[in-house]
């Protein structure tokens, strides 16, 4: 989508506005499938938490993707989007037994990530095959908050507890058909991923009933021109060969699974915001926009970089600005940015906002969450209405004082 198309969408739907290009999602999906085309059995399970709009899920369903869900609500969304239960993988952490039972009753693939839950599940459902999430104790990822495979992470069963797992299996008769790991997000170092891969495959050898191996995801995407990213084609070539060789060693063909979120949808999305105020100070020119951390939390939570452009004046002389939101916190989208001259009422585009953006939005400061639009094959579709004051009151119970 070019600048004029984006500006037309803000005229039609208002701002702030999330816009997603479904064709980019399709392109990224095919890119990943092609990178691992030499593997006999490959499943791509989209990480629903990245962007859970049901229309995004439908796009991926039509591509024959599966889904990775971390809550019973995501499972229900996937079913509502039309996914068959055998395409739904449930990979939660620290949930209640009651929630696990709800997912089990629906018939989705269950992943267990603690000894306690494995014991309880095995005692109650010894005949339901499960997957185990292990913690490979590998530090990888772009930020400590999204590095989830190191030794102090809450996620997964430690590789040093495999004997304990095997004891539980022996006692309960539980059948393990999958081994899973996820080391973190924004991983561009292929060597770190391959190190964790060897640990994962060594764990598979501890069981003789494995049918699939889930490598998680976390591939880094570029956030600006010239930015580093995971070379998915190189990783595909290297990892596919290792996986195929391992299948020969193991004695049967296994299914290779990835669960990408950001890789599939990040570049497909952008957040369009309107400039409320241009505010020069002795040191900084602040650009206040009609959005904030309530709509896009990633820069404040992860120190993540999102490229920002002025689509109302793309050819203007570049100046240095800080782009800030309207929330009563230091909600800075970008500091010390060189952007073409900005005037009040201009529309700015915050790029790479397709993943972990709207899905982390809130009503902080009693602000409304924005509308979402999907563009597919040149047509635009409203896929979520802008909230109103009635939405803020919808679930509040007003008592007579």
| Predicted confidence (pLDDT) at residue 142 exceeds the cutoff of 60 | no
The structure tokens listed for 82 are 């039309």
Mean pLDDT of 205-220: 92
CATH 3.20.20.10 maps onto the chain at 36-260
DSSP 292-329: -TTT--HHHHH-----EEETTSTTSPEEEEEEE-SSSS
Q: pLDDT tens, 242-285?
A: 999 999 999 999 999 999 999 999 999 999 999 999 999 999 99
CATH architecture of 3-17+268-393: Beta Barrel (2.40)
**190 or 255, which is more confident:** 255
pTM over 0.85? The answer is yes
Mean pLDDT of 21-48: 97
Question: Lowest-pLDDT range, 106-110, 156-160, 175-179, 385-389?
Answer: 156-160
CA dihedral 117, 82, 271, 377 (to 10 degrees): 150
| Predicted confidence (pLDDT) at residue 138 exceeds the cutoff of 80 | no
Q: What is the predicted pLDDT for the residue at 185?
A: 58
Q: Enumerate the known binding-site residues.
A: 218, 298, 302, 329, 356
| Predicted confidence (pLDDT) at residue 143 exceeds the cutoff of 50 | no
Nearest to 270 by CA among 226, 218, 315, 307: 307
CATH 2.40.37.10 maps onto the chain at 3-17+268-393
| Predicted confidence (pLDDT) at residue 384 exceeds the cutoff of 50 | yes
For 354, half-sphere exposure in the C-beta direction (CA atoms, 13 angstrom radius) is 28
Q: pLDDT tens, 351-361?
A: 999 999 999 99
Nearest to 195 by CA among 237, 239, 225, 160: 239
Q: Is domain 36-260 given the CATH code 3.20.20.10 in the classification? A: yes
Write out the catalytic residue numbers: 328
Q: Enumerate the known binding-site residues for substrate.
A: 298, 302, 329, 356
Q: pLDDT tens, 303-332?
A: 999 999 999 999 999 999 999 999 999 999
Distance CA 9, CA 13 (A): 6
């Amino acid at each position: 989508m070019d600048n004029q198309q984006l500006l037309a969408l803000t005229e039609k739907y208002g701002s702030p506005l999330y816009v997603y290009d479904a064709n980019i999602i399709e392109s990224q999906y095919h890119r990943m499938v092609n990178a691992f085309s030499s593997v006999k059995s490959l499943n791509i399970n989209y990480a629903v938490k990245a962007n859970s709009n049901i229309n995004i899920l439908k796009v991926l369903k039509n591509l024959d993707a599966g889904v990775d869900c971390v809550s019973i609500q995501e499972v229900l969304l996937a079913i509502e989007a039309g996914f068959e239960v055998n395409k739904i993988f449930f990979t939660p952490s620290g949930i209640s037994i009651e929630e696990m039972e709800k997912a089990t009753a629906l018939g989705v693939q269950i992943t267990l990530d603690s000894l306690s839950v494995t014991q309880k599940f095995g005692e109650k459902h010894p005949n339901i095959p499960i997957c185990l999430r292990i913690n490979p104790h590998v530090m990888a990822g772009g930020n400590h908050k999204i590095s989830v495979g190191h030794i102090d992470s809450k996620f997964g069963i430690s590789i040093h507890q495999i004997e304990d797992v095997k004891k539980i299996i022996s006692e309960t008769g539980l059948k393990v058909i999958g081994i899973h790991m996820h080391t973190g997000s924004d991983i561009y170092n292929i060597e770190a991923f391959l190190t964790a891969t060897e640990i994962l495959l060594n764990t598979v050898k501890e069981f003789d009933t494995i049918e699939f191996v889930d490598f998680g995801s976390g591939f880094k995407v570029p956030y600006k021109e010239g930015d580093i990213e995971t070379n998915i084609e190189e990783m595909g070539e290297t990892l596919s060969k290792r996986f195929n060789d391992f299948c020969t060693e193991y004695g049967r063909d296994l299914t290779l699974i990835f669960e990408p979120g950001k890789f599939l949808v990040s570049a497909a999305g952008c957040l369009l915001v309107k400039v409320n105020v241009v505010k020069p100070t002795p040191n900084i020119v602040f650009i206040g926009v009609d959005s904030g951390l309530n709509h896009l939390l990633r820069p404040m939570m992860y120190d993540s970089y999102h490229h920002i452009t002025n689509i109302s004046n793309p050819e203007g002389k570049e100046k240095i600005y800080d782009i800030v939101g309207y929330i009563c916190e230091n909600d800075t989208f970008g500091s010390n940015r060189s952007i073409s001259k900005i005037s009040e009422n201009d529309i700015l585009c915050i790029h790479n906002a397709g993943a972990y953006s709207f899905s982390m939005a809130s009503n902080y400061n009693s602000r409304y969450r924005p509308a979402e639009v999907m563009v597919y094959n040149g047509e635009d579709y409203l896929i979520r209405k802008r909230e109103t004051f009635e939405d803020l009151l919808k679930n509040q119970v007003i008592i007579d004082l």
